[in-house]
Structure 1
């Protein structure tokens, strides 16, 4: 006997019929399971973890060349980039931040980052197509998928550099409170714009900017909140893993950090997918009847 989903429980169905926001929330959570979004978020986090160190090596090496005459600004931007990874970044930045502009480091880091980054964006494309329920035959070819991944790396990477610079400016002495607020708002806007472009360009289902805006805005705000709460979350993960994994607990913390970002990004996509049918409809009733029927309860 298969256990019926909690989403079809009579009390839950009653709430869904009365409240459009509640039905939207339940739909998004149900889709999160049906689209295997949790698994896809884990894969994105895995390849994101593999790419972060070579990307930071490239970032540091490029700054070493471009800002060679401005060491203070260079150090401020590098610190800001590492500080975007709470708790873990403080522990790990001591060694990479000592790197100077080095052509060998730049090439090696770029190659590894390119490989891992492309894998991460390939998985992200698959995840967004799963959320949008794009048929397998309508999904991009190998060559087109890789080209879209390169576009995603360039766009998201550039946006992250912009956000890191904005974050470093927030911490500059002498910046007024209102300017700090405006810079923080600018970082939220950049994050939301990146998510909107990601939802629109990396998914094969055609979507307008208006359709992707709700999930992008929610994700941008969530990312901003994660910058403030991330230290506590990642610190707790490291503390819990420390007695068992020792020094490897830092890796657990970093993967946790990436998993949270991947989950937020994909939950935003799920929100966009669920919004058009946020009110309880006849289709919901048919699905509930099918899930609770005797045929659905047998294996």
Structure 2
């Protein structure tokens, strides 16, 4: 009896999976999310997001130091404007620590140059984690990726571009605050500026770091999605993090700040990886995917062949992926 019941339950479950599989293959709005999730796990998405979070967190403080140093030196004669720009670039609760660290830097000469170069080098960790994630998501073979020197040059270029976009977003927010007096309009305009800056950063990052030609048309879907979600996360964090730090009290306040920033970085990293997967799935026609994978369809074959080609490490090496002949399902 129990064996028969188990067999019937197994058949029922298999039938449900087949029907769901057929449904998501027929409807693009269902098939696309399934394909994105499949590719996310095929690429090791959770690991890539964790590495971006870890190295991004280690790079965050050096980057804030560099940004603060640049703004302070540029706007030295305008302390009021300097403070307003810094408020947009560095969270107020982190500014005292950044200013103390900045004060410990050598005042001038070779020691200062060495210190700034060290900060620049320390800040490249997060960008390099993004570099490896992007090239894996877009299926770039190892042999076509940049050498070590070009990796660091490109990473520094992305840091500079990101800083410029952040400054432009801060400037637009300041102009909006000056011209528009309604708080609701100010917040909306600031959010639009943030989305535009993030989309620009994502697009330029693809152009600089991905070792294969990509058009803006290949990137825009994931870029817009990522920019919108990251903006929402930043807006939420602006109101949630100070409340959590205040509730933590003076003893655990610094710890709560670190945990909050790390959590925010993790959510942003997951968002960016998934949004880039959306662009890669659309560009590579990797949808719809099979739910079971037992009988791979055309999109499955393209996705798995792309994974295989990434292992081509030297010139002339060609990795091919073959599939045994299988009887197609009724849905195919």
TM (norm. structure 1) is 0.78
What pairs with 1:229-268 in structure 2 (closer than 5 Å)? Answer: 229-231=236-238, 234=241, 247-268=254-275
Give the counterpart of 2:201 among 179, 194, 197: 194
Distance 1:285 1:66, change over 3 A: closer
Which secondary structure state, in structure 2, belongs to the residue aligned with residue 25 of structure 1? helix
| Unaligned ranges ≥5, structure 1 | 1-5, 83-88, 292-299
Distance in 2, Cα, partners of 1:126 & 1:159? 22
Q: RMSD over aligned Cα, in angstroms?
A: 3.5
Q: Which portions of structure 1, spanning 4 or more consecutive aligned residues, are displaced by more than 6 angstroms?
A: 235-242
Which secondary structure state, in structure 2, belongs to the residue aligned with residue 68 of structure 1? coil
After superposition, give the CA deviation of every residue in 1:124-150 in whole Å (9 maximum; x if it has no partner). 111011101222222222222222212
Distance 1:286 1:65, change over 3 A: closer
Distance in 2, Cα, partners of 1:97 & 1:170? 27
1:209 deviates by 1.1
The aligned counterpart of 2:93 is: 91
| Residue 126 of structure 2 is aligned to residue 116 of structure 1 | no
Distance 1:287 1:174, change over 3 A: closer
Range 140-149 or range 71-80, more displaced: 140-149
Distance in 1, Cα, partners of 2:228 & 2:188? 14
Range 203-212 or range 41-50, more displaced: 41-50
Range 62-71 or range 205-214, more displaced: 62-71
Larger radius of gyration: 2
1:250 deviates by 2.5
1:79 deviates by 1.3
Count of aligned positions:
276
The aligned counterpart of 1:28 is: 36
1:68 deviates by 1.9
Distance in 1, Cα, partners of 2:185 & 2:199? 21
The aligned counterpart of 1:156 is: 162
1:272 deviates by 0.5
The aligned counterpart of 2:280 is: 273
| Unaligned ranges ≥5, structure 2 | 1-13, 298-332
